[in-house]
């Protein structure tokens, strides 16, 4: 079985070299990766096991499952307690300082790994991995552009699958169906504490104002308290907006896109708010160059919203989100974060989603979300669907 699956070996080597440079700068001798997202980034496939990356030398892939992976740097073991002996047999000195993903690895796993390496000082490698993944390689940008094309193709079909009397969840199921037929993997990886979502967030009418416990731009009551977000079974009626924020994972790299559909005429206030969202995106596309402060981009959006007199509706009505954008890639909510207290500075080939949205009571949610690549000329949009409100009639 091919070790790196669909990811070229030289691409994996570039990623490993970047991580090694970052851990060396922080005086960390090696990191041990357990998180599926970071395993995928450093290997090109998900395994049950551990990825060991020394500051110098080749990475070692310690695998429990699947069987059949081959390579000089693959070692099959059934428990982490075997790692030190395997490293010694390969001529590796045990690290003085070992990086672990403290932010995403369960406490008991961390404690177990500390016991495996009792003489090692432990450092947090979580931010290193987030920073490494935040700047995309050319290969990753190709994957993201491909997802953007397929994502846009799905949205173009939405008006054709709607019929009067449909509920929001019925529409969502049809959107999910055409997404899967287009090649969507169905998986929605989200970075953050207890962040959960199914394949799409479809919000019709006032359900958009139902607060959710999750840190998403928009909420929705959901169908059950076990997953309190998104469609709640509302019948789509004339005068409602229908906001669609559907899964864009077609390549292992996700684009994030929101478009608004209407059944019948929306109010002038809702139309004006939607236009304000588009205007914000146009302004931030110009600002979004390498070196731009994420907090300055947020403040520019607030300036535009206040000038339009729409701040009461911005990023929620009953409950507001504290950001207007975030990084995307293997996960949603990667770095950088476009928020008022963000210290992030945009770098070339960051990939971000901007989602300045509004909730208008009695109508629903309006506004767009696009995925962009940060370039020297500004933000390059890779989710090219029409941005105006689209009629379902």
How much of the chain exceeds pLDDT 70, in percent?
A: 100
How much of the chain exceeds pLDDT 90, in percent?
A: 94
CA dist., res. 231 & res. 340, Å (int): 29
DSSP class of 209: G
Tens digits of per-residue pLDDT, 14-26? Answer: 999 999 999 999 9
Residue 194 has pLDDT above 80, yes or no: no
Tens digits of per-residue pLDDT, 61-115? Answer: 999 999 999 988 999 999 999 999 999 999 999 999 999 999 999 999 999 999 9
Task: Report residue 273 CA to chain centroid gap.
Answer: 25
Are the C-beta atoms of residues 52 and 23 closer than 8 Å to each other?
no
Residue 323 has pLDDT above 90, yes or no: yes
Q: Which residues, 6 or more positions from 239, have their beta carbon under 8 angstroms from its beta carbon? A: 205, 263, 264, 265, 266, 267, 362, 363
Whole-structure pTM value: 0.96
* Angle in degrees, CA 175, 176, 181, rounded to 5: 100
Kindly indicate the confidence band of residue 288, based on its pLDDT and cuts at 50, 70 and 90: very high
CA dist., res. 46 & res. 113, Å (int): 20
Kindly indicate the confidence band of residue 365, based on its pLDDT and cuts at 50, 70 and 90: very high
Residue 193 has pLDDT above 80, yes or no: no
Residue 5: per-residue pLDDT:
80
CA dist., res. 200 & res. 259, Å (int): 12
Residue 192: per-residue pLDDT:
77
| Backbone CA torsion sign across 221, 224, 227, 230 | negative
Would strands 121-124 and 97-100 be described as parallel, antiparallel, or unpaired?
Answer: parallel
Q: Which helix (H) or strand (E) holds 304?
A: helix 294-307
DSSP class of 81: G
CA dist., res. 245 & res. 223, Å (int): 17
Average pLDDT over residues 131-143: 98
Bridge partners of residue 63, in order along the sequence? 49, 76
Mean pLDDT of the chain: 96
Residue 197: per-residue pLDDT:
85
Residue 2: per-residue pLDDT:
74
Residue 1 has pLDDT above 80, yes or no: no
Residue 298: per-residue pLDDT:
98
């Amino acid at each position: 079985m091919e070790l790196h699956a669909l990811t070229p070996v030289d691409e994996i080597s570039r990623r490993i070299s970047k991580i090694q440079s970052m851990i060396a700068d922080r005086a960390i001798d090696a990191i041990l990766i357990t998180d599926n997202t970071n395993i995928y980034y450093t290997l090109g496939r998900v395994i049950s096991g551990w990825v060991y990356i020394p500051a110098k030398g080749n990475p070692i892939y310690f695998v429990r499952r699947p069987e059949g992976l081959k390579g000089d740097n693959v070692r099959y073991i059934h428990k982490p307690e075997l790692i030190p002996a395997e490293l010694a047999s390969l001529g590796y000195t045990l690290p003085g300082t070992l990086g672990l993903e403290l932010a995403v690895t369960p406490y008991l796993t961390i404690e177990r790994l500390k016991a495996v390496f009792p003489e090692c000082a432990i450092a947090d490698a979580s931010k290193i991995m987030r920073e490494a993944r935040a700047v995309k390689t050319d290969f990753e940008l190709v994957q993201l552009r491909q997802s953007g094309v397929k994502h846009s193709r799905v949205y173009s079909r939405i008006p054709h699958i709607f019929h009067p009397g449909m509920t929001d969840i019925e529409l969502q199921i049809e959107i999910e169906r055409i997404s899967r037929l287009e090649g969507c993997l169905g998986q929605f990886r989200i970075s953050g504490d207890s962040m959960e979502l199914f394949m799409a967030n479809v919000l019709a009418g006032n359900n958009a104002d139902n607060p959710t416990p999750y840190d998403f731009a928009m909420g929705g009551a959901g169908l059950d308290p076990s997953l309190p977000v998104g469609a709640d079974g509302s019948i789509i009626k004339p005068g409602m907006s229908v906001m669609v924020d559907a899964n864009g994972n077609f390549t292992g790299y996700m684009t994030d896109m929101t478009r608004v559909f209407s059944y019948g005429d929306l109010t002038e206030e809702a139309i004006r708010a939607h236009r304000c969202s588009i205007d914000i995106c146009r302004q931030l596309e110009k600002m979004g160059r390498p070196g731009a402060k994420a907090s300055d981009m947020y403040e520019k959006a607030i300036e535009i919203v206040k000038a339009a007199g729409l701040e009461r509706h911005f990023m929620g009505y009953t409950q507001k989100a504290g950001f207007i954008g975030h990084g995307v890639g293997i996960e949603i909510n990667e770095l950088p974060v476009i928020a008022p207290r963000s210290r992030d500075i945009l770098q070339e080939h960051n990939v971000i989603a901007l989602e300045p949205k509004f909730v208008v009571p009695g109508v629903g949610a309006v506004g767009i979300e696009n995925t962009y690549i940060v370039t020297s000329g500004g933000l390059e949009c890779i989710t090219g669907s029409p941005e105006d409100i689209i009629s379902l009639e």
